[in-house]
């Protein structure tokens, strides 16, 4: 695996590689890698692409300063995992490489409606920061396929919009299944910050999602939503939302709609840790 810390070195290397005809599969991350991230690298390789992973803890997408400061940084372990996965390139830039003109002077994008609901509403400025960094990374890496985890469903929709706004018609976006722990908890870098009792409780989020999915033809979503809220709050979660949306437009739905591809989404805090997850139905 070749490691690059500067944009210019990476760009020079990729220019030569592209001249050889390689196709690039790109996995952007903020580090603290787990099997979910590695599954994206594996998928890029299985698709026959030259795999590039970036690790960049992007300061502009954290609306909560404490969350940024406490975000796990495990670079040596991350490198070991990427080596084991036989990742081809790791891009490990500093803030000044991604934002040479300063964060304030780096292009941002407008995601309209998508930025007004759920994660957008609960984390003001978050998607602005995601768009800013992913926009920069796409300019630098110019991948053929971008690999994203379904766990951050709304982020996947935002990045699909970014592709459209940036006019990247040739870019494929592969949204890959969420990797889960044995009890169903979605893998996330933040899980390692859960206390032991909260780690056990955290699986309730997935249980609620499965119950929302299972009851789609037999119950009212309003009733199931209330059951989930009540259960989670009783167990000590601070539940932000339990929502149902159209899977492609993210239009929020009050009720199940037969024949419509939907997604159920939950965000909740357990102690200091904010968790999100979703399921398609
Ligand atoms: O999902 C993440 O880890 C981040 O939001 C991303 C896409 C790497 C941008 O910083």
The answer to whether residue 84 sits within a structural domain is yes
The answer to whether residue 33 sits within a structural domain is yes
125 and 157 in a single domain? The answer is yes
d(CA 89, CA 136): 17
Domain boundary among 131, 153, 176: 176
Q: Which residues are catalytic?
A: 37
User: Is ligand 1 within 6 A of the CB of residue 29?
Assistant: yes
Q: What is the DSSP string of 117-176?
A: SHHHHHSTTHHHHHHHHHHHHHHHH--SEEEEEGGGHHHHHHHHHHHHHTT-TT-EEEEE
User: Is ligand 1 within 6 A of the CB of residue 90?
Assistant: no
Give residue 244's pLDDT band: very low, low, confident or very high (50, 70, 90). very high
The answer to whether residue 83 sits within a structural domain is yes
User: Is ligand 1 within 6 A of the CB of residue 176?
Assistant: no
CATH number at residue 161: 3.40.50.620
Closest residue CA from atom 6 of ligand 1 = 29
213 and 171 in a single domain? The answer is no
d(CA 19, CA 258): 49
Say how many domains are in the chain.
2
CATH number at residue 211: 3.30.1300.10
**Residues 6+ away with beta carbon under 8 Å from 120:** 111, 114, 126, 127, 154
| 30 C-alpha to ligand 1 centroid (Å) | 6
The answer to whether residue 240 sits within a structural domain is yes
User: Is ligand 1 within 6 A of the CB of residue 58?
Assistant: yes
**Ligand 1 pocket mutation pick from 73, 125, 133 by most atoms within 8 angstroms of CB:** 133
CB neighbours of residue 225 within 10 Å: 20
So what's the pLDDT on residue 85?
98
d(CA 12, CA 97): 15
| 80 C-alpha to ligand 1 centroid (Å) | 20
27 and 155 in a single domain? The answer is yes
According to DSSP, residue 272 is labeled T
User: Is ligand 1 within 6 A of the CB of residue 130?
Assistant: yes
Report yes or no: 191 and 182 within 8 Å, Cβ to Cβ: no
So what's the pLDDT on residue 221?
98
Q: How far apart are the first and last CA of the chain?
A: 39
For the chain, the residue count is 281
Nearest Cα residue to 174 out of 141, 150, 151, 152: 150
Please state whether 211 falls in left (phi above 0), alpha (psi between -120 and 50) or beta.
alpha
| 149 C-alpha to ligand 1 centroid (Å) | 10
The answer to whether residue 181 sits within a structural domain is no
Domain boundary among 150, 176, 202: 176
Give residue 205's pLDDT band: very low, low, confident or very high (50, 70, 90). very high
User: Is ligand 1 within 6 A of the CB of residue 40?
Assistant: no
The answer to whether residue 61 sits within a structural domain is yes
So what's the pLDDT on residue 155?
98
pLDDT for 151-199, tens place per residue?
999 999 999 999 999 999 999 999 999 999 999 999 999 999 999 999 9
124 and 214 in a single domain? The answer is no
According to DSSP, residue 85 is labeled T
20 and 155 in a single domain? The answer is yes
Nearest Cα residue to 144 out of 13, 56, 41, 18: 18
So what's the pLDDT on residue 186?
98
User: Is ligand 1 within 6 A of the CB of residue 10?
Assistant: no
75 and 49 in a single domain? The answer is yes
Residue 227: enclosing H or E segment and its boundaries?
Answer: helix 221-234
**Ligand 1 pocket mutation pick from 26, 27, 28 by most atoms within 8 angstroms of CB:** 28
| 130 C-alpha to ligand 1 centroid (Å) | 7
Domain boundary among 127, 152, 176: 176
6 and 137 in a single domain? The answer is yes
| 239 C-alpha to ligand 1 centroid (Å) | 23
Handedness of CA 133, 271, 150, 34 (dihedral sign): positive
234 and 150 in a single domain? The answer is no
Tell me which residue range forms the domain holding 230: 189-276
User: Is ligand 1 within 6 A of the CB of residue 152?
Assistant: yes
So what's the pLDDT on residue 53?
98
The answer to whether residue 210 sits within a structural domain is yes
So what's the pLDDT on residue 251?
98
The answer to whether residue 281 sits within a structural domain is no
158 and 41 in a single domain? The answer is yes
% residues pLDDT > 70 (the chain):
100
134 and 252 in a single domain? The answer is no
85 and 224 in a single domain? The answer is no
d(CA 202, CA 239): 12
Looking at every residue in the chain, the average pLDDT score rounds to: 97
So what's the pLDDT on residue 103?
95
- For residue 278, report the phi and psi dihedrals to the nearest 5 degrees: -160, 165
pLDDT for 16-70, tens place per residue?
999 999 999 999 999 999 999 999 999 999 999 999 999 999 999 998 899 899 9
Nearest Cα residue to 88 out of 36, 52, 44, 138: 52
pLDDT for 61-103, tens place per residue?
998 899 899 999 999 999 999 999 999 999 999 999 999 999 9
164 and 199 in a single domain? The answer is no
Tell me the sheet residues that pair with 263: 245, 280
| 141 C-alpha to ligand 1 centroid (Å) | 15
Report yes or no: 91 and 128 within 8 Å, Cβ to Cβ: no
């Amino acid at each position: 695996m070749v490691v690059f810390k500067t944009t210019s070195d990476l760009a020079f290397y990729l220019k030569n590689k592209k001249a050889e005809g390689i196709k690039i599969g790109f996995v952007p991350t903020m580090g603290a890698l787990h099997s979910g991230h590695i599954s994206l690298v594996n998928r890029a390789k299985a698709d026959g692409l030259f795999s590039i992973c970036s690790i960049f803890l992007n300061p502009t997408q954290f609306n909560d300063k404490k969350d940024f400061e406490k975000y796990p940084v495990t670079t040596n372990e991350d490198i070991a995992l990427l080596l084991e996965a036989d990742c081809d390139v790791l891009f490990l830039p500093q803030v000044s490489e991604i934002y040479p003109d300063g964060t304030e002077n780096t292009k941002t994008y407008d995601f309209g409606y998508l930025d007004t609901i759920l994660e957008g509403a609960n984390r003001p400025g978050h998607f602005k920061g995601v768009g800013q960094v992913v926009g920069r990374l796409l300019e630098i890496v110019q991948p053929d396929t971008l690999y994203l985890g379904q766990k951050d469903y709304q982020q996947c929709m935002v990045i699909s919009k970014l592709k459209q706004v940036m006019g990247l018609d040739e870019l494929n976006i592969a949204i890959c299944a969420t990797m889960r722990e044995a009890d169903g908890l979605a893998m996330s870098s933040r899980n390692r910050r859960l206390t032991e009792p909260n780690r056990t409780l955290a699986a309730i989020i997935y249980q609620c999602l499965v119950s929302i999915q299972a009851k789609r033809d037999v119950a009212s979503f309003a009733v199931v939503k209330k059951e989930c809220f009540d259960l989670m709050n009783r167990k000590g979660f601070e539940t932000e939302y339990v929502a149902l949306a159209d899977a492609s437009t993210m239009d929020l739905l009050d009720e199940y709609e037969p024949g419509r591809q939907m997604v159920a989404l939950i965000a909740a805090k357990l102690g200091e840790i904010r968790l999100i997850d979703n399921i398609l139905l």
